[in-house]
Structures are given as structure tokens and as C-alpha cells.
Amino acid sequence: MVFGSYIPADQLQGLTVVVTGCDSGFGFETSLALVALGMNVISGCLTDKGIEELSSIATSNRYPGRLTALPLDVTNETSVSTFTTKATHLTPNGIFALINNAGIGYTNPFEILGLSNHRQIMEVNYFGTLRLMRAFSPSLRAFSLAQKSLPTRIYPRIINIGSVASEISLPMFSAYAASKHAVKALSDAARMEMSQFGIQVAVLEPFFARTPIVMVDRSEMQAAMFLGAGEEVREAYVQPSVKDRRKSLEKLDADWFTLQPEQVVNKIVDTVRRKTVGGNTLVGLMAHILVFLKTILPYWLMDQIFYANVKETGLSRHKYF
């Protein structure tokens, strides 16, 4: 939820924002949008390619702000520590905002998705967010303390990128939904804990968007997961062909309610610019519709609606009822 008016543009200029998951998608575009506002952006990228592409675009456009792209693996303690040290050195007076955007997600029934995949999703989406929040809390506190006596005080903030999946758990999305539920729970507690330091915590919960995390073709990976499952599980579930899985992905890309990345990026930038932020904000019409339907429809009807939408891409091959 966002409140009130915006921070004046001249006060935003020169403030530092840390963004994770900047190789592509929301993180990549958000970094460029913020540096275009004159902000100093420190972008964490998993790959050298991501660092090079982001830095090249920022340099060639001669934005008024400064962008520094650094390597960051949110699952690695050493990488997080090195990234934090470098970022803190660049911003001795503290950072204004931390945007936890890094995330991954695979789809398959929970029995077919390997335990290693369940752990990997939680490690990136939840523990990655937790690591960065813990790492940058001192820097956020330093910024807040420096602002305390100013007549035009600006409140630092943590913006965690959640998902509508934290509100609605869909079949095939068990691990992803669980990780986003965890991010929401962490953020709710942190919002109250960090308020004593003048630090605000907000969660953005977008519907699915046309980003690599959603639109990358993982059909062959999903098929390999199926083959790696136990014999009884393979017998119980349908194994869609790679062709059928790709058709499902093409359908999602064509659906009108699938968000364009800029819709989410605009909401992230809007949350950076607001004077006061906090709580959970749904992004996209379909996110609002699904949450509304959840409040008025019985769970069994919602279950049937969701089941009918995915039953041909990985659910039971037999009729048990």
C-alpha cells in the first residue's frame, strides 16, 4: 500500500538505491528507470553478461544518476558480504532504498519437482531476500538517523518484490508460492520491527508478467524432472509433451491479463518516489480479481477453477473419484 504524496524530484537526486536480480526483467528496467531520475543505483547481477549489458546501456544514455553494477549471488554468503561491503563503501551516509527483486520459479506438481528445486527456490526467493535485508539494515539505519533532524525528512525503505502467488496458491506453483508466502510473512514482521528506526517496508505483489522468470521455455527441464520422479509418481501423473508445455506458455504470453514488465517497473518506481509506503500492494487487474474471488467463493469452487486450467499440463492421469 502506498500513501500520501511524492518526494520532491530534487530530493531524490543523489540518493542511493540497491536493487537485486538486475540481469534482466524488473531489476534491469528498474535500475535504468531510477538512474534516469538522477538517483545513484547499485545493481546486483548474477552474471558478467548482465553487468556488461546494464552498464553499457546506462553509460551510453548518459543518465543524470550514477549506476554501478556489481556481481551478486543472493544464495552465497561470501558474495552477499562482498557486495554489501562495496555498496557501503560507495554510500558512507547510508542507502535510501533496498529493492529485493532477485527470484526464480519452476512449475511442476510438488511430487515431481525435486527437493533440490524446492530448496533452490526458497534459497533464492526467501533466504536471498532475508540475507539482503539483514546485510543492509545498518546502512538503512544510518540514512534514517542522518535524516532525523532535517525539516524535509525522507524515510528509507525496503521494497520486496512478492507475487500474487503469496495470496493465491496455484497448482503447479507449490514451491514458488511457498517462497512468496514466506517473503510476505517476513516483510509483515519486519515492517513493525523496522518502524522504530524510521525504516518502511513494503511488498509488491504482481500478477504474472512477461519476464524471463515466467516466459523462459523450461519444457525440457520439466520433462527431465518427471523422468527423475519415482515409478509410482510417474504412473500417477500425466506427462505432457514438450510441445504441449510450449503451447501452454504461448497461451500465457498471448493472454491479455499477463502483465507487461513496465507495469510492474512503474509501480516499483512509484513506491520509491512516495513519501510514505508500507504493507502489501497488488499489481495488475487480475491480481485484484483473484484475491477478490478468494474472499467470496468457497475454496472448493476456486480449486475446481484452477484445476481445470492446468489439468492438461501435469496432473492426474487416472480418475480416483
CATH number of the domain within which 142 lies: 3.40.50.720
Q: How far apart are CA 157 and CA 216, in angstroms?
A: 31
Question: What's the pLDDT tens digit per position in 24-65?
Answer: 999 999 999 999 999 999 999 999 999 999 999 999 988 999
Whole-number average pLDDT of the chain: 89
Question: What's the pLDDT tens digit per position in 162-219?
Answer: 999 999 998 889 999 999 999 999 999 999 999 999 999 999 999 888 776 655 666 7
Mean pLDDT of 255-268: 85
- The CA-atom distances, in angstroms, between 136 and each of 122, 146, 178, 203, 271 are 20, 16, 24, 17, 19
Per the CB < 8 A criterion, the answer to whether 68 and 89 are in contact is no
Q: Is residue 228 part of a domain?
A: no
Output the pLDDT for position 321.
43
| Of the ranges 195-199, 220-224, 282-286, the best mean pLDDT one | 195-199
Mean pLDDT of 245-262: 69
Q: Is residue 297 part of a domain?
A: no
Q: Is residue 304 part of a domain?
A: no
Question: What's the pLDDT tens digit per position in 91-115?
Answer: 989 999 999 999 998 888 899 999 9
Is the pLDDT assigned to residue 88 strictly greater than 90? yes
Question: What's the pLDDT tens digit per position in 113-139?
Answer: 999 999 999 999 999 999 999 999 999
Task: State the burial class of residue 27 (Cβ atoms within 10 Å of its Cβ: 0-12, 13-18, 19+).
Answer: buried
Q: Is residue 246 part of a domain?
A: no
Q: Is residue 111 part of a domain?
A: yes
Per the CB < 8 A criterion, the answer to whether 131 and 74 are in contact is yes
Q: How far apart are CA 189 and CA 317, in angstroms?
A: 42
Q: How far apart are CA 146 and CA 264, in angstroms?
A: 31
Q: Is residue 188 part of a domain?
A: yes
The pTM (predicted TM-score) of the whole model is: 0.90
Q: Give 71's contacts (C-beta < 8 A, 6+ positions apart).
A: 44, 45, 46, 48, 51, 79, 82, 83
Q: How far apart are CA 202 and CA 157, in angstroms?
A: 8
Q: Give 276's contacts (C-beta < 8 A, 6+ positions apart).
A: 2, 3, 4, 155, 200
Closest CA to 43 of 64, 70, 63: 70
User: Helices 174-194 and 115-122 meet at what angle, rounded to 10?
Assistant: 30
Q: Is residue 189 part of a domain?
A: yes
- The CA-atom distances, in angstroms, between 46 and each of 31, 71, 259 are 15, 6, 24
Q: Which residue has the higher pLDDT, 67 or 260?
A: 67
Q: Work out how many domains the chain is built from and give that number.
A: 1
Q: Is residue 320 part of a domain?
A: no
Cα separation of the two ends of the chain: 43
Copy the grid coordinates of residue 112.
Answer: 515431481
- b or e along 194-211 (b: 16 or more beta carbons within 10 Å of the residue's beta carbon)? beebbbbbbbbbbbbbeb
Q: How far apart are CA 168 and CA 99, in angstroms?
A: 23
Give the domain range for residue 161.
2-217+259-290
Helix ranges (H only) for the chain are: 9-12, 25-36, 48-61, 77-90, 115-122, 128-147, 174-194, 212-215, 219-228, 231-236, 242-254, 261-273, 285-296, 299-310
Helix (H) or strand (E) run with residue 19 in it: strand 16-19
Q: β-strand 157-161 against 66-71: which pairing, if any?
A: unpaired
Q: How far apart are CA 56 and CA 68, in angstroms?
A: 11
- Between the CA atoms of 59, 82, 118 and 19, what dihedral angle is there, to the nearest 10 degrees? -30
